[in-house]
Structure 1
Amino acid sequence: MNKSSTIDNIKHSKLIENYIKNLTSISWISYDENSDAIYYQLNSVIGNKRSSNIYKIELHNNKITQITDGKIEGNIALDDEDSAEDIGLDSDSTPKISPDGKKLAYIKKIETHIQGFKINALFIKDLSNGNETMIHANYQTILSAYDSTGSFNWNSDSSHIAYTYREIDERDDTSEPYIVNRIRYRQDVVGWLGDELNKIAISCIEENKKCCKVKLTEIPNIGGDDTHPVFSNDGKTLAFISDEGDTRDTHWREDIHIYDIESSERRRLTTYFNGIGSITWSNDDKSLFIIGTSDNKEGDGRNSSLFKIDLNDTKITNINTEEFAYNPQPNLKMTNDNLRVSYTDKGISKIVDINGENKSIVYENNSKILQLCDSTNKTVFIENNRNMQEVVKVLNKQNNEIHDILIPNSKFYKENPPSKMNKFTINRTGFDIESRVYLPSNFSESNTYPLIVDIHGGPHGRFEDQIAVNQEIFTKNGYIVIAVNPRGSSSYGSDFGKAVLNDWGGEDYYDIIESVNKLSKEKYIDSNKIGLYGYSYGGFMSSWIIGHTNQFKAAVIGAPCINLNSMSGTSDIGIKFGEEQWGGLRHDNVEKYQFNSPLTYAKNVTTPSIILVGDRDYRCPIEQAEQYFVTLKRMGNDVQLVRYPGGNHGMLSGSAPNLVIDFWTRAVNFFDKNLQ
């Protein structure tokens, strides 16, 4: 394939550019009860660069103030050999206001002296004078191996902050070898981990002064990644998550650890959990509430439950008797003796109050709740619904009134009306299989339309009642889209989620095919013009489908899983995830892995396909796409491989905008070529 930086056919690229460059998003909120204000992270695209800054909106007058702009004001903690001029600045994100409302902690992405390498640095901004302080060493990054932002939290009197960090490799000379001693030596998005582990430190923050480095406390690491530190209300104890243990490289295992700040004593509290997303303390500090899973078959946390842990006898109670999928909340907090949380049920989010065994729904709107901050009098949350993306709303607890506070894309969707959505369900082998169908905004039943089958990742992802950009791009170009939630999808119960284990390409395949067949009987569907789109597990399923039927006329395959035998050794989660999903130890189940691999059925493929993948994808490594491309090409198939430089598995939300525009433009052009 010839190297090319241009799209073969620029048709549609302007429309797609409009969606990628002109939509903004709000991905993080922090509510200050003292000033009745919301601090929020606003993400946008400037030129060919993604940018984020922090703003404040005062609720009594709706006044908006920009708090950060990527620059540093005041003090910065630097190693002696560096100066402020040596550090390049980038985006600001993840605001967390201190309980007294006087200081703002946030993440600033800064460049290092290593060419092209950036770290996530934790900064404190004094809101009285604007001074900013970086509170850790230059070559520590708040970016952890588990999340894209890192984790940090204030204590109740705003005097200390606990944070997760990891030492980074300072080398800028690529002539040195990298030594690998463990299975989990690299992570998608994060990159090289080596032998470094996530650690936790506590820093004293004195008002109007630099960070008290002399009072910095490091929690002893005992051989695992420590994350998500949360202070008790009295400030004497820290609870956090750790995956410490001999099987940390091969199994989903996370537990709660406790650190006594005065005695410096660390102890493991639980030996029960396989994945934890959020922690908070009860008001009396006698219990912990966590969102996570205790099922070793659900280690990725998509079907998380809510648990209560009694610190006196370590008794663990699962509060989630209905098997809803509780959404991890970075701002999880108990107020008024209630725990207000969000969960997802069959792709629809709800906000619920929990008091002991009593639950009451306080908000539902056929939407997705992205983040929630609860306080004594108000609940602030971000909602994505079918009419608008990422609206910040406030629910007043005194009168239960709900107000839209920030609607960043109101003008965009007024000019670009969202697609229409309806749903239908089929029943297969005892499970209800739900599909969402997206229709062009100018849809007419008297016309016929080509159909695109959108397949989510996971396999424990899910389609929800929200706006998804790719579905809007497809419908704006004259396609109807069907998005099936086959067995394995989360938020439909534990049995439904686990039904896909060791059966990729089995009943999940038939769930999709039979749902498509039902819809294709409608007169407005051209059943001879149906295409497939999928990314990650969706790329697996798209490849699997065209190896088992010639019903589909085009397949756009993103970051696929193609050969499970090789992926088990090359993916950053090939062992931990693969052995759970694909049938145990690979060397004991080579034939099973081969049977469930799309590569095995490549000889049957006649459907034209295009494969799109980032060349730094460590989750579904590019070698997977290369194997499939070479095999199909060798057999004379109509196939093309597109490699995106620097693209990781999350490239569609994190790569340079021009590459994302290229991705979707190629996808639409390919469908036009084969379906129109």
Structure 2
Amino acid sequence: MTRRLRLDDLWSFAIPSSPALCPDGSRVVYVLRTADREADRNRRALWSVGTAPGAAPTPLTTGWADTAPAWSPDGSRIAFLRSGDGPSQVHLIPAAGGEPRQVTDLPMGAGAPRWSPDGLRIAFSAPVAVAPLTGPVVIRRLGHKADGVGLRVRARMQVHVLDLADGGVRQLTDGEWDAGDPAWSPDGRLLAYASATGPDADLTLTSGVHVVDVETGLTRAVGDGKGWIGGVSWFPDASALLATGSTAVRIGHVQLLRLPLDGGEPADLAGALDRNVMPGGPEWPGGTPQFAADGTVVFCVRDRGSTLLYRGTDPVPLPPGTSVAGLSLAGDLAAAVTVTGVSHGEISLIGLGTGEARQLTDHTRRALPDVEFIQPEEREFTVSDGTVVHGWIVRDPATTGAGPLLLDAHGGPHLAWAPNLEPAHPYHQLLAAQGWTVLLLNVRASDGYGEEFYAASVGRWGIGDERDFLEPVERLVTEGLADPDRLAVCGYSYGGFTTCHLTTRTGRFAAAVAGGPVTDLLSMAGSSDDALVFASLEFGGDVYAGAELLRAQSPIERVHQVSTPTLLVHAVNDDRCPVGQSEEWFTALRTLGVPTEMVLYPDESHQFLADGRPSNRVDYSRQIVRWVTGRTP
């Protein structure tokens, strides 16, 4: 007997990430995130599953925070990060299992391990103190804080190398800038890393690639440094570097770049696709670009909301509605986290030559054995200027007639909804199980529809996409799916901005929930950890000289037009969209007599929906359901 998802089920979610495929392709080690209800903590442990048919996944470690697994080149050991009562340190564990051995003991911890080709050394980027860790902080540059980290000026990430023979750790780079994760050259003599070393990099937002000699410490730059680089690896013949980034600092697609070591012009290997390259991250769509056995590049792009796998310029065929969130290669095999409409993600083995995908784990079904998820229905809406807006409707097939509707606006603004289960948005399933229709739209500025569409919001927040939201809602009312008197709107981050914006433009919604919103664009431009990206790129230049543009598009300037009862939810330690943005809106609505509440989550950052304390993630869905339905679940 099956049933629909319930609020209490959120504690049972089991979500895999960071797959690492053994060099011989026989086994995958990955991170499995679960929730400990009694401790109210996330647990991340390493699990292992064989790639032979019928193999069952088993736990490899039992730590609270074990992450970033990496196989030794001979497949005998796995390096990973473990965080206990102190900062993360590199540990080693035999492939067959056993007691992990700690191999670093750095004051501020270590970063994700990268094995040398000969297996004798491990490189990583680790924080190094550049200012006293307590007391007053002197700030001279932008970028002094980061969401989820706090003040960054006390420490900078630098490249280190651990010699496994004697246990010694050497710091290879130094400076008041951050070095990204290092990548070994095929001969093991050099390390490449991305960094923003320019004296005014905080203003130009440029970053480049550097190569350091492991023995001598001599460093040189690769490329002209006029764009930005997010991550880097080596071509198999060491003739060039493979990087994700862009040749120019702008709002646009992430490119897949070949950077010649001899200083030649960079080449965009995926430019013909007109799609955003997705380098991914833990529990984030996409995967690090890597090379298959024949030397072709395997990477991920976003297309119509989903994150797809490509080999060169050819897609690797996967079942419709499947997204990739994590990638590891060995020869012509790939291990990936595949996310669908019936799972939060499972480890799959993919033959790059055949496209055959075989699921190795079944964590979602085992965690929720009797839950039947409601599958999204794909829809397209042509709005009044001819633009086609693509998206999904989540609605129980047993629901009939016109019922309540929730419009949920995604963040970014350059993110996108996919037809997959959303661990951070389980309220979609909770509401659909109660007879609601949930409308998910990839409006202008969403990712996966070409670069022109992607950049459509620049200088036009709220203005460019307003009709993309409102006209599809009216279409569903006309079709008899939505009750015009029971419409609600919600969203997080840019979606929170959209929620506030729409309630200043129409009284059509009976309820609104704004999560981590932006309400005052001018104050956001000066207080966010992403302030300059926001100000210079999203609004094009000197926002202080052209402050009227930001004021005209700030919801707070029109707050007196709001009549919709509004719930605000915000993390107190949010450095991306500072909590003052919600406080301004709450104060204004309360003063104006509009029904309003504000829920604050102490000790959480902007990303708490994905990675915060389990009870807070559960509560976020509870608050949305409570506010829009008028009933506490």
TM > 0.5 fold call: yes
**Residue 594 of structure 1, aligned match among 543, 551, 574:** 551
Distance 1:124 1:331 in 2: 23
Mapped to 2, the partners of 1:281 and 1:387 lie a distance apart of 37
**Which of 430, 434, 452 is matched with 1:495 structurally?**
452
Match of 2:411 in 1: 457
Aligned to 1:254: 207
- Give the Cα–Cα distance (whole angstroms) in 2 for the partners of residues 129 and 603 of structure 1: 62
Deviation at 1:132, TM superposition (A): 3.7
Q: Choose which of 341, 353, 356 in structure 1 pairs with 2:311.
A: 353
Per mean C-alpha deviation after superposition, the further-off stretch among 229-238 and 180-189 is 180-189
User: Which whole-Å CA distance do the structure 2 matches of 1:103 and 1:325 have between them?
Assistant: 35
Task: Tell me the CA shift for residue 109 of structure 1.
Answer: 1.5
Q: For the structure 1 residues 364 and 313, does the alpha-carbon distance in structure 2 shift closer, same or farther, using more than 3 Å as the test?
A: farther
Partner of 1:41: 31
The 5 Å alignment of 1:49-448 reads 49-60=41-52, 62-70=55-63, 90-112=64-86, 119-127=87-95, 130=98, 132-142=100-110, 150-167=111-128, 176-206=135-165, 212-213=167-168, 216-272=169-225, 274-298=227-251, 303-319=253-269, 320-328=271-279, 331-335=288-292, 336-354=294-312, 359-363=314-318, 365-397=320-352, 400-412=355-367, 415-422=370-377, 423-427=379-383, 429=385, 431-444=387-400, 447-448=401-402
Q: Distance in 1 between matches of 2:16 and 2:473?
A: 34
User: Partner residue of 1:620?
Assistant: 577
SS of 2:532's equivalent in the other structure is coil
Pick aligned residue for 2:8 from 12, 17, 20? 17
Alignment counterpart, residue 563 of structure 1, candidates 500, 520, 532: 520
Sort the Cα spacing of 1:339 and 1:489 in 2 relative to 1 into closer, same or farther, 3 A.
Answer: same
Q: Distance in 1 between matches of 2:157 and 2:55?
A: 39
CA distances 1:2-32 after superposition (whole Å, capped 9, x unpaired): xxxxxxxxxxxx92121x2011100111010
Q: Which runs of 4+ in 1 moved over 6 A?
A: 169-173
Identical columns (%): 20
Structure 1 stretch displaced more, 425-434 or 405-414: 425-434
1:445-500 Cα deviation digits (max 9, x unpaired): xx321000010010111111211223222212321111111111112111111110
> Over residues 23-45 of structure 1, what are the superposed CA-to-partner deviations in whole Å (9 max), with x where a residue is unaligned?
11001110103371110111101
Separation in structure 2 between the aligned mates of residue 399 and residue 582 of structure 1, nearest angstrom: 45
Equivalent residue number for residue 283 of structure 2: none
Q: Following the alignment from structure 2 to structure 1, what is the Cα–Cα distance between the partners of residues 131 and 263?
A: 45
State the distance in 1 between where 2:525 and 2:588 align.
Answer: 20
**1:178 and 1:397 mapped to 2: Cα distance?**
51
User: 1 CA distance for matches of 2:60 and 2:387?
Assistant: 50
Counterpart secondary structure, 1:283: coil
Q: Match of 1:517?
A: 474
Return the alpha-carbon distance in structure 2 between the equivalents of residues 524 and 653 of structure 1.
31
Structure 2 CA distance for aligned equivalents of residues 172 and 372 of structure 1: 36
Out of 119-128 and 373-382, give the one that drifted further: 119-128
Measured in 1, the distance between the counterparts of 2:568 and 2:363 equals 34
* TM-score, structure 1 as length reference: 0.86
Alignment partner of 1:648 is 2:605: yes
Give the conservation status (yes or no) of the 8 Å contact 1:530–1:675: no
Unaligned runs of 5+ in 1: 1-13, 71-89, 113-118, 143-149
Change (3 A) 1:608 1:45: same
Report the CA distance between 1:413 and its aligned residue. 5.5
| Count of residues in Structure 1 that have an aligned counterpart in Structure 2 | 615
Aligned pair in 2 of structure 1 residues 553, 100: CA closer, same or farther (>3 Å)?
same
Distance 1:162 1:431, change over 3 A: farther
Describe the SS at the equivalent of 1:350. Answer: strand
8 Å contact from structure 2 (residues 499, 514) kept in 1: yes
- 8 Å contact from structure 1 (residues 558, 611) kept in 2: yes
Provide structure 2 residue ranges, at least 5 long, that are not aligned to the other structure: 281-286
- In 1, Cα distance between equivalents of 2:197 and 2:121: 25
1:534 maps to 2:491: yes
Secondary structure, counterpart of 1:466 in structure 2: coil
Residue in 1 that maps onto 2:284: none
RMSD (CA atoms):
2.5
Pick closer, same or farther for the CA change 1:316–1:462 going to 2, 3 Å: same
Q: What corresponds to 1:9 in structure 2?
A: none
